Structure 1
Amino acid sequence: MTTGTTTEPSAATPLLDLHALVVAVRRRRRLWGSVALLGLLLGAAVAVLLPPPPSATAKVLVVHQDDQPNDTGTLIRTDVALLGTTRIADKALQALKSPEKPEDFMKDYRGTGLTNNLLQIDVTGKTDEEAVARAKALAEAFVADHVRRMREAAQAEAKALLDQRDRMRDELTDVNNAIGDRSPESDPQASAGLESLFARRALLNSRIADFDQRAADARTGTPKVIAGTQIVDAPRAVEHSLPRSAATNAVIGLVLGLVIGLGLAAVGTVVADRPVLRKEITANLGASVVAELRAIPRWSAGLWRPRRTRAARERLTATLARAVRGSAEPVSLLELGCARSTGVIALNVARALAAEGPVVVIDGLPGRELANSRQEPGGPTVVRGEDAAAVPKQARRLGVGSVAPGTAWTDLQYLGGQTVLVVRAGHGSAAWLHTVARQLADQRIPVIGVVLIDPDPRDRTDGTLWDGLHTALRGAHERPARQHGTGQPRTERPSMTAARVPYSDQEAR
């Protein structure tokens, strides 16, 4: 068989096909759905098995001496940091008369700045009563510490201003004495010095008055801070609703599980590189997709299948039956990931051909499920592959085999001179599909079509190999071949141009 060349695509294939990735992730909905469900159950279980400890909350209005309308929250963040110090914790423990260490107590509460002047204190305890008592002790300790710090700061500022005023007064006394010691003279130089002393005295009097006013303002501002800093929301226990907590945790677990599941599915899809779309399977196998069928569940019966599915199977049976009738040599069905579906399809085709003469199905599938199945009177005969030599020559042969890993490639030619591949979407990797196409080409077994099992229902890609018309079911032509039922390999086959089978994943893409 000679190998022809096909035109390379004009546009470069992207490194990651988002369409194929989305389709593959959607096909793995069992994985990410299970992970999302597991996250939901774990979230609900955490809420039930690990309920939050009893807690209490209190709100404190904090007034600062340096409050500004454009403050960015620096002062309240400082208050939050001060709340988490051992000094505040120790004062609260002293009020509670608790022997607990301040370092351990600090782990049971936290502060949050709601606004520039509103501080919220959250405390946990063994019981609601203990949590409320702790919150009250902490709030009172913080208010007392804040008032003390503001009072000490105001007193220190007032003392510094008064000390500066006293120094100015001493200097003023010296200036007054200097003025009193001067005698009235008409000397211009003496008059200028006297004017300088008078100016200095006026400046000192002004600065002394200013320091007096600033010291008074500092002392006056402290009562406002003391009166304004207070507990505005009395400590109270926080009620915990188990249903609400379980629902919240379940939703969080569901979202996290869904994200993790989708991530795992996406990574697994990229790593596995298993084609799902029709165009990918066609490009990798070098043959057109001629039909698509849903997978056949083991529990399903014919009456329970949807009407559309039954109609699709009937059309596929008729198509394959016509292909077998029109072929000058036996036709085989080779499966990849769908042995049971392939066996059912083969039996349906054999039954359709049984009315025209004896039909023998050669079972080359792994296991003996097809050969051991119950055979209907007047229906097709099913024999194992090792018994194929005993098949009468006048009987029509229909081979059924597998191209899964471990296949004996040289035995496939005894199942049929032409083949129809029955492939489950997303089962085989791109590398293995290349291997199947290359091995069949080496065995000189043309692939006349691909039946896709369990395809993606939203796949709108083209599954036709336009440069493979000589092997397509829509345009197959007669070729010299061996007789039906001989079971002997062909001695020579005319050379023909076949679709190029890529040697690697990159070449196929």
Structure 2
Amino acid sequence: MTSAEKAKSEPLIDLQRLVVSVRRRRRLWLATALLGLIAGGLVAMFLPSPPTAVAQILVIHPDDSPTDSGTLMRTDVAVLQTTKIANEALKKLNSTQAPEEFLKDYEGLGLTNNVLQLTVKGKSKDEALARAQAISDAFITEYIARNQAAAAATQKALLDQRNQAQNELTTIESGIVTEEAKGRNANPAQLERFYSRRAELNSKISDYDGRAQEAGIGTPKVAAGTQIVDAPRILPRSLLKTLATDAGIGLALGLLAGLALAAVTSVVKDRPVLRREISRHLGASVIAQLPKPPRFLRASRAAARRKRVAATLVRAVRKEGGSVSVLDLGARTVTAALAVDMARELAEKGPVSLVDDLPKANLRELAGDGPIQVLDRGDAPSAGKERRIGVGSIEPGTAWTDLEFLGEEAILVVRTGHANTEWLHTVARQLADRRIPILGVVVVDPDPRDHTDGTLWDGLHTALRGRGSALPEPLPVPARPVARARPVVPERMPMPERKVVPERVARPAPKPVEMFPDEDAPVRRLSRVAPVETDAERTVERVLEPPREKKSARRRPPTPYKRPEDHDNADQPTKRFSPVSPDNAEAL
């Protein structure tokens, strides 16, 4: 896969890189989680929740049925949280608070189809209890009045229907009187119709009267049953429970905020943290890695590991009398110590000097008194087979033209997550412009779970190819003269030697076998058995005999098919063969 294809196939957000970046910023999200925990505890201690009163109301529905799914109770809860109920409760409390603001201090919950729970908050316990009682009374009063109003409306409608029927009955009575006054001229059919209609109207009027009386009674069951079954009381509050709840909520919110902030910053800053990305952006392979320098413990282990890496880098620098630069990017302490370890390894083979161009590194103190000579950037160039190790920086603000005087080749010491992608590209481009090949990259403080490959397989400025461009070209080897080829004469194949075949000795004829012991029966004699020849004899005879001409084998003409009617004995029955005996053996 080419570099262009890799760039096209790269996702917009690398999940592996995002996870590693968030894990490296664990101090950030752990700090935000701790702050959330502390903030939640402080809120629970210094801003306690106001006192809360609870009351339960039994609501009797006139149209209640066992198949109700809670619709009536949800309607009651919605009515409870209206400004009408809030206004009536405020009037009983003699409060000037706005009903809209008062609605935020209480809420209703339907426990069952007929039990309503009311939760009210107040500045004090007495105020919470008073509010709960006022709201409960206002709701019960409004509920009973609403049912009574519905009953009164039903009674009025029934009475109106009765009055209409009464008026119609009066008209029917007058028609009956008029028709009866005619005497013999009265229409019997008309009278019959008037009588039936009068009876129907009388029935309706009596029905309307009864239903109107029942509606006038109202809903005494609703009025008597709707009441407060659990008087307002203050909910008990535990400070420890409140503290734990608020602290847990603060911890969760702080942790989520920290993780989100770490993820967003890792995407926005675009700082490579994987070896694969660092090697790709710098154009050089990762040849070693070092952990983060410890502050208190495990210093000896870190020093031993750094010396092993220094020995690896020394083996990579093979040119005698040459110079190499160790350039720092975010790991100044590790870079200085690594350069000193490399100088000590090279001091065992010859003179070595360090060129100090790394600010705040104190190379002289690290080198100490020994064979290693620490020079400044403007000192005299190296002479003879002296090896020089230049120690510099490639941080923003670096003088790129001075890197040529530090070394002919470069080793980059890069701390993961320190520089963004744009700056890594700048470093690679500037070193390529100065024709300084990069031997490799030493990654400092890598992620312990980073198993990506930091080796480049293409590109002209990788470690091995960069070093190969600096080596002298090999001298041409003169070609040897090529001798003229002689004609190849095919060798004659030697004729196989003829072997003397021993004369065959005639074997005595075998005694004929008689099939039947009978003397009168003819005797059938068997033919002589030919002697058995060996493979060697067959081979010799095959060589000595001249080749024989192949005879074309005659093909027999196909036997014509003879139909059953062509046979003379086709109509005769099939004969059964008798068993073989000495008498019929000769015939067989």
TM-score of the superposed pair, with normalisation by structure 2: 0.72
Match for residue 506 of structure 1?
none
Task: Report the CA distance shift for 1:163/1:14 in structure 2 as closer, same or farther (over 3 A).
Answer: same
2:250 aligned with 1:250, yes or no? Answer: no
Match for residue 376 of structure 2?
384
The one-character-per-residue Cα deviations of 1:52-99 (angstroms, maximum 9, x if unpaired) are 112211111222334456666554455445434565445545555x45
The one-character-per-residue Cα deviations of 1:222-267 (angstroms, maximum 9, x if unpaired) are 1121122111221110122122112111221222222222222222
Match for residue 485 of structure 1?
none
Match for residue 402 of structure 1?
393
RMSD: 3.2
Identity of aligned residues (%): 52
3-state SS of the aligned residue for 1:427?
coil
3-state SS of the aligned residue for 1:9?
helix
2:412 aligned with 1:421, yes or no? Answer: yes
Task: Report the CA distance shift for 1:374/1:340 in structure 2 as closer, same or farther (over 3 A).
Answer: closer
2:356–2:390 Cα contact (<8 Å) kept: yes
1:323–1:473 Cα contact (<8 Å) kept: no
Of 66-75 and 239-248, more deviation after overlay is shown by 66-75
3-state SS of the aligned residue for 1:252?
helix
Give, as a single letter, the amino acid of the residue that structure 1 aligns with 2:130.
A
2:86–2:103 Cα contact (<8 Å) kept: no
- Give the Cα–Cα distance (whole angstroms) in 1 for the partners of residues 65 and 471 of structure 2: 99
Of residues 166, 172, 178 in structure 1, which corresponds to 2:163? 166
3-state SS of the aligned residue for 2:265?
helix
Give, as a single letter, the amino acid of the residue that structure 2 aligns with 1:459.
D
What's the CA shift for 1:450? 0.8
2:476 aligned with 1:479, yes or no? Answer: no
Of residues 442, 452, 458 in structure 2, which corresponds to 1:461? 452
Of residues 255, 259, 271 in structure 1, which corresponds to 2:256? 259
Give, as a single letter, the amino acid of the residue that structure 1 aligns with 2:322.
E
Task: Report the CA distance shift for 1:163/1:449 in structure 2 as closer, same or farther (over 3 A).
Answer: same
Give, as a single letter, the amino acid of the residue that structure 2 aligns with 1:146.
Y
Of 78-87 and 467-476, more deviation after overlay is shown by 467-476
Task: Report the CA distance shift for 1:11/1:241 in structure 2 as closer, same or farther (over 3 A).
Answer: same
Gap runs ≥5 in structure 2 = 475-588
The one-character-per-residue Cα deviations of 1:8-48 (angstroms, maximum 9, x if unpaired) are 43962222222222221221111222122212211111111
Of 193-202 and 71-80, more deviation after overlay is shown by 71-80
The one-character-per-residue Cα deviations of 1:345-403 (angstroms, maximum 9, x if unpaired) are 11122222222233222121123x3235254332533333233x266654321111111
What's the CA shift for 1:477? 4.3
Give, as a single letter, the amino acid of the residue that structure 2 aligns with 1:380.
I
Match for residue 175 of structure 1?
172
Of 65-74 and 438-447, more deviation after overlay is shown by 65-74
3-state SS of the aligned residue for 1:426?
coil
The one-character-per-residue Cα deviations of 1:138-175 (angstroms, maximum 9, x if unpaired) are 21232122212222221232232123223312322332
Of residues 290, 315, 323 in structure 1, which corresponds to 2:287? 290
2:343–2:352 Cα contact (<8 Å) kept: yes
What's the CA shift for 1:441? 0.4
Question: Which one has more relative contact order, counting CA pairs under 8 Å at least 6 apart?
Answer: 1
Task: Report the CA distance shift for 1:400/1:128 in structure 2 as closer, same or farther (over 3 A).
Answer: same
Task: Report the CA distance shift for 1:391/1:154 in structure 2 as closer, same or farther (over 3 A).
Answer: same
Task: Report the CA distance shift for 1:292/1:216 in structure 2 as closer, same or farther (over 3 A).
Answer: farther
3-state SS of the aligned residue for 1:373?
helix
Task: Report the CA distance shift for 1:330/1:213 in structure 2 as closer, same or farther (over 3 A).
Answer: farther
Match for residue 40 of structure 1?
37
Task: Report the CA distance shift for 1:356/1:278 in structure 2 as closer, same or farther (over 3 A).
Answer: same
Of 463-472 and 225-234, more deviation after overlay is shown by 463-472
Give, as a single letter, the amino acid of the residue that structure 1 aligns with 2:125.
D
Task: Report the CA distance shift for 1:392/1:61 in structure 2 as closer, same or farther (over 3 A).
Answer: farther
2:33–2:254 Cα contact (<8 Å) kept: yes
Of residues 343, 363, 375 in structure 2, which corresponds to 1:371? 363
Match for residue 19 of structure 1?
16
Match for residue 151 of structure 1?
148
1:31–1:265 Cα contact (<8 Å) kept: yes
Task: Report how many aligned residue pairs link the two structures.
Answer: 471
Match for residue 324 of structure 2?
331
Task: Report the CA distance shift for 1:458/1:437 in structure 2 as closer, same or farther (over 3 A).
Answer: same
What's the CA shift for 1:418? 0.9
Task: Report the CA distance shift for 1:379/1:37 in structure 2 as closer, same or farther (over 3 A).
Answer: farther
2:44–2:242 Cα contact (<8 Å) kept: yes
What's the CA shift for 1:200? 2.7
Match for residue 484 of structure 1?
none
Gap runs ≥5 in structure 1 = 482-492, 495-509
What's the CA shift for 1:180? 3.8
Of 101-110 and 114-123, more deviation after overlay is shown by 101-110
What's the CA shift for 1:276? 1.2
2:320–2:385 Cα contact (<8 Å) kept: no
Question: Larger C-alpha radius of gyration, 1 or 2?
Answer: 2
What's the CA shift for 1:210? 4.1
Match for residue 110 of structure 2?
114
1:108–1:124 Cα contact (<8 Å) kept: no
- Give the Cα–Cα distance (whole angstroms) in 2 for the partners of residues 159 and 176 of structure 1: 26
Task: Report the CA distance shift for 1:202/1:20 in structure 2 as closer, same or farther (over 3 A).
Answer: farther
Of 69-78 and 217-226, more deviation after overlay is shown by 69-78
- Give the Cα–Cα distance (whole angstroms) in 1 for the partners of residues 441 and 141 of structure 2: 84
Give, as a single letter, the amino acid of the residue that structure 2 aligns with 1:346.
A
3-state SS of the aligned residue for 1:385?
coil
What's the CA shift for 1:440? 0.5
3-state SS of the aligned residue for 1:182?
helix
Match for residue 558 of structure 2?
none
Task: Report the CA distance shift for 1:241/1:372 in structure 2 as closer, same or farther (over 3 A).
Answer: farther
Give, as a single letter, the amino acid of the residue that structure 2 aligns with 1:257.
G
Match for residue 310 of structure 2?
317
Of residues 50, 54, 73 in structure 2, which corresponds to 1:53? 50
